[in-house]
Amino acid sequence: MINIKRHSIDLILLMITMVLLIYSTEPVIQGDSKRYLSYHLSDPPLIPWFVKITLYLFGSLKAIVILQTLAIYFGVVKFTKTVSKYFDIKILTKLFIALFLFIPIINFYRHILSESLSYAFFLFFASYIIKLIFNFKIKNVICVTLFAVILLNLRTQFIFIYLIIFIIYLSIYIINKKKTFSFLLISFISIFLIHNTLTKVNHYILQNFFKEKVMYKNQEKNGPFNYIFIDAIYISTIEDAELLEDDKIKNITIQIFKKMHNEKSLQEYYNGRGHFGLSFATIRDYSNLSLNELALNINVSIYDLKKEISLTLLSKNFFKYLKFIFKKFYDSTWLFVIVPAILFIPALINFIKYRTQFSLVVVFFSSFALANHSIVYLFGRVQPRYLIYSDFALLVIIFLVFIHAFKKSTNKF
């Protein structure tokens, strides 16, 4: 017999989920969706394979919408139950947190993108990190390992998870001493090996889908210079291209600069917030088209060309680049960098001093938010959908910090 009162919040969330799915399961296709609907070597393996397997089993993109929406539902339920257990929150607070975490669904639950599953599995990952901090069990270590691997194979954006896990595992070892060391070490090594093995296997399998070797060569690499290149072009001038030694690369770079001048897509035409966001696609699309032709002629990858051009331009404009990174951060969601930084420092000091689990939880969420924002500012175009993983959960933790502080203050009287 189901205890209605005990599971009331789960049932409310399920009703909301059903209302969303009844309202519409029509998939929304965006630019990036096309990559997931076909194989592309630059993408982590899980989303393309999830799409392909779901289409094979159900024959419709609507099934993807339903599955990813349900995944978010279960993620929100798991996270809400976890924080309510370890932070002793009442049912109304629990309901507020659950509804708040559901907000992102309204905007993107129908999109055929990686954000839906990434958000769901981040909530699972964060839940088991909390459980591991408060209750060191092998089951929790295994679950953290599993969900870390899933996140790393959903989005390359999550590469910073290695650093976050290292910080948390080291802190858990400090709390629990020697009995945890071997398990945490095995977990960290397992995450590294499984993540990289799946990536390599995926590349090996997908090579069979690219008949022309040159076509594969120009798609094989995905890394930071795909994004740094756009920044480098945006902040530089046509005169800086003269620093390039190879005449062919120099000429194509000058051609790119001339086109961007005509499109007013360089920083010298900066006209307020959002200009780089508009310029991003213009620089990316035209550069890829131009560099592809050169890459075919001289038999190198587009990525290697971007790397060479970027390093040359940034050697001349390094401090200008740093200023631009700061401007990207300031022009977008700067509050979500300042706030976690303010949380991180006292939480870390408190943990070092008192070894409390609550302070370590705050360290985890604040450092995750800082790392997530930093990697987006450094290597991409700032879009809200890249930041939902850290920001909504961080706001929940800030809310819990206030509740925790209020309880401590009332207990003194």
Dump strand ranges (E) for 85-208. Answer: none
Instruction: Name the residue among 392, 389, 363 with its Cα closest to residue 376.
Output: 389
| C-alpha 259 chain-centroid distance | 32
CB 101 within 8 A of CB 79: yes
Residue 34: pLDDT over 50? yes
Amino acid 163 reads L
Dump strand ranges (E) for 36-134. Answer: none
Instruction: Name the residue among 59, 71, 69, 56 with its Cα closest to residue 21.
Output: 69
pLDDT in tens, 84-101: 999 988 889 999 999 999
User: What are the angstrom distances between the C-alpha of 328 and each of 86, 168, 230, 339, 382?
Assistant: 37, 29, 13, 17, 8
**How confident is the model over 79-85, as a mean pLDDT?**
94
Residue 214 is predicted with a pLDDT of 41
Mean pLDDT, all residues of the chain: 86
Residue 46: pLDDT over 60? yes
What's the sign of the alpha-carbon dihedral 403, 137, 183, 356?
A: positive
| Residue carrying the six token digits 């450092």 | 367
Surface-to-core class of residue 113, CB atoms within 10 Å of its CB (0-12 exposed, 13-18 middle, 19+ buried): buried
Residue 207 is predicted with a pLDDT of 66
Residue 257: pLDDT over 50? yes
What's the sign of the alpha-carbon dihedral 256, 260, 263, 265?
A: positive
Alpha-carbon distance of 293 to 298, in angstroms, equals 9
pTM for this model (two decimals)? 0.85
More confident residue, 410 or 254: 254
Q: What are phi and psi of 218, to 5 degrees?
A: -85, 0
More confident residue, 103 or 206: 103
Tell me the β-bridge partners of 28.
111
Q: What are phi and psi of 322, to 5 degrees?
A: -60, -40
Q: How many CA atoms lie within 13 A of 261 on its CB side?
A: 10
pLDDT in tens, 349-363: 999 999 999 999 999
Residue 332: pLDDT over 60? no
Residue 275 is predicted with a pLDDT of 75
Nearest-10 Cα torsion for 219, 225, 226, 230? -150
Residue 5 is predicted with a pLDDT of 60
More confident residue, 367 or 45: 367
Across 12-16, 120-124, 296-300, 406-410, least confident range = 406-410
Across 177-191, 223-237, 317-331, 372-386, least confident range = 372-386
pLDDT > 70 fraction of the chain, expressed in percent and rounded? 88
Instruction: Name the residue among 164, 80, 175 with its Cα closest to residue 134.
Output: 175
| C-alpha 51 chain-centroid distance | 19
CB 191 within 8 A of CB 164: no
Instruction: Name the residue among 270, 272, 380, 386 with its Cα closest to residue 336.
Output: 386
pLDDT band, very low/low/confident/very high, at 224 (cuts 50, 70, 90)? confident
